[in-house]
Chains A and B, each alone.
Chain A
Amino acid sequence: MSQTTKTTYHIPIGPIHPALKEPVYFEFEIDGERIVDVDVKLGHVHRAVEWASRKRNPIQIMYLAERICGICSYCHPAAFTLAVEKAADIQVPERAEYLRVIQAEVERITSHALWAGVAAHEIGFDTVLFLTWEMREKLMDLTEFLCGNRVTKGILTIGGIRRDITSDMVPKVTGVLDYLKDNFERLRKIFLDDKTIKMRAQGAGILTNDNALKLCAVGPTTRASGVKKDVRVGQSYFAYGDLNIDYVTPDTLTGEVNGDVYDRIIQRLLEIKQSIDLIEQCLDKMPKGDITYEPKIAKVLNQLKKAEGEGVGRHEAPRGEVIHYVKLDGNEAPFTWKVRAPTYNNILPWIPMLKGEQIADIPIVAASTDPCMSCTNRVGIVKDGNKYELTKEELHRLSVEKTRRLMR
């Protein structure tokens, strides 16, 4: 009689799969229902955004940056303008800094509400999806009211902001904030007291404090593991330095940090609350004055054309820290523009999170870091129609070469 031996088997998921919103390729090694090993492959939605910037001036690139991600359509241009302002040494008026904070926080609430809905959908709780997105709709209307469009805001400009919040617009903003505060309790009750969500989320996809530090996770993903990492507090930019803001971790509510999916839900709900508070502070403290350092855009363009230097813009996007590097060399188009989206750092934490979990938990664990694939994909190597994979040594060599080229 032949002996059957128990072996693990491979399951590929993606790049196109009903459970995935965006193309990413997983290779799971499964033992029964348990995940033994995971491998993640990226690079399916590379759009050559950085390359497209080489024949555009900074004002045009802002709109290109806006289209890196549909949900963070404020964060990318924000980090880009910060980098250009640093490179060209531009001082932004104080009122514009406060207005920029308001826009950033409105986007954070919208994004977290969207995430909460998607997370509920991933565990099959679709009524909650519609309840949270009903709240989100109010914020989309507010975005349209403040910026002129619902998704691509087009609100930033280099050296300031394009639209002011005048005193007659304030009641509408506070009205939406009051609505949010009234409905926040309902959302909290659904997400934190409901048995279904507790059963699915507690103890699932644990990212330990150690791993979060080691793998450089950013944003709510790392803060839910108890790592105090937030660009808004760590580095003073926009008007965050003048506002009363502190690190938020889930232990402020529950007293302990587990780093599981449930903690990531708590973290995002706490951040919604913090953002509401920040917008209110801004509306109170906002000084009067100009909203751009130079209202004539032709003059700004001329100045940027002559400017030489490099700058790094860091901004705390809803998903974590986004970094843009810009080098101006006295030409119309910048010499280089480099983008690092927050999801790039939050990919590797998937591996410790998913190991040892059940197959059914893959969607909610993967969604709990709020991934955005199209932001992340910055490289694609295609030669003669074939896709290539780089080894660590090759990638390192190429990175060194690129850095040398940029430093010349």
Chain B
Amino acid sequence: MKFSMLPSVFTQMFKKPWTNKFPAKYAPDNTTQFLADVGAGKAELIPPIETPPNFRGKIKYDKEKCTGCKLCLKVCPCEAIEFKEKEKKIKIYLSRCCFCSQCNDICPSNCLSMSDEFLLADIDPYSKDLIVE
């Protein structure tokens, strides 16, 4: 009983750490530069842990299918969806989205779906990556 911790200490010593060192073993000083290097093949990216099936990530919007019924505006809990009157299409602000996928469920023409993209951090809430239209 006195040294009951020792067995688990020894097994821990020979175990690989759980931490997935994403995106690189050591955090890069400049992420944009690092991503450019990855694109040029100079650096290697450690992939993130895979998301499970039916993960609720960034919303995908099929503009052609959309009929402009405005039902998604009605259920969106955080009012992240704007209706463009002229075009009769919607615009989703992901910085407000709470990723509940309720708009996907109510859409009668199935033009909305959830992708598994989750890297959505940005310094500008109105940046191009965070607006789906």
What is A's interface to B at a CB cutoff of 8 Å?
A: 56-57, 59-64, 127, 131, 141, 144-145, 148-149, 152, 154, 157, 162-163, 193, 297-298, 301
Identify which of A61, A145, A148 contacts B101 (C-beta below 8 A). A148
Identify which of A60, A141, A163 contacts B76 (C-beta below 8 A). A60
The answer to whether A297 touches B105, judged by C-beta atoms less than 8 angstroms apart, is yes
Given contacts A60-B75, A127-B5, contact A144 B100 (CB under 8 A): no
* Residue B68 at the chain A interface, CB threshold 8 Å: no
Known: A162-B105, A297-B106. 5 other contacts (CB 8 A): A63-B102, A148-B54, A148-B56, A154-B101, A298-B74
What is B's interface to A at a CB cutoff of 8 Å?
A: 1, 5, 8, 51-52, 54-56, 71, 74-78, 98-102, 105-106, 108, 114
The answer to whether A154 touches B56, judged by C-beta atoms less than 8 angstroms apart, is yes
Identify which of A57, A62, A131, A162 contacts B74 (C-beta below 8 A). A57
Identify which of B52, B99, B108 contacts A144 (C-beta below 8 A). B52
A190's closest neighbor in chain B, by CB? B4
The answer to whether B77 touches A60, judged by C-beta atoms less than 8 angstroms apart, is yes
What is the CA–CA distance of A57 and B73 in the complex, to the nearest angstrom? 12
The answer to whether A149 touches B55, judged by C-beta atoms less than 8 angstroms apart, is yes
- B77: chain A residues at CB < 8 Å are 56, 59-64
The answer to whether B98 touches A152, judged by C-beta atoms less than 8 angstroms apart, is yes
- A56: chain B residues at CB < 8 Å are 77
What is the CA–CA distance of A111 and B78 in the complex, to the nearest angstrom? 27
A145's closest neighbor in chain B, by CB? B52
What is the CA–CA distance of A152 and B56 in the complex, to the nearest angstrom? 11
What is the CA–CA distance of A354 and B114 in the complex, to the nearest angstrom? 49
B76's closest neighbor in chain A, by CB? A60
What is the CA–CA distance of A145 and B5 in the complex, to the nearest angstrom? 32
Which are the 6 A-B pairs with shortest beta-carbon distances? A63-B77, A148-B56, A60-B77, A154-B100, A297-B106, A145-B52
A56's closest neighbor in chain B, by CB? B77
What is the CA–CA distance of A301 and B102 in the complex, to the nearest angstrom? 13
- B114: chain A residues at CB < 8 Å are 148
What is the CA–CA distance of A131 and B105 in the complex, to the nearest angstrom? 39
The answer to whether A59 touches B55, judged by C-beta atoms less than 8 angstroms apart, is no
What is the CA–CA distance of A150 and B25 in the complex, to the nearest angstrom? 25
- B51: chain A residues at CB < 8 Å are 144
The answer to whether B105 touches A163, judged by C-beta atoms less than 8 angstroms apart, is no
B19 to chain A, nearest CB (A): 12
- A193: chain B residues at CB < 8 Å are 1
What is the CA–CA distance of A63 and B105 in the complex, to the nearest angstrom? 15
Identify which of B99, B100, B106 contacts A298 (C-beta below 8 A). B106
What is the CA–CA distance of A61 and B101 in the complex, to the nearest angstrom? 15
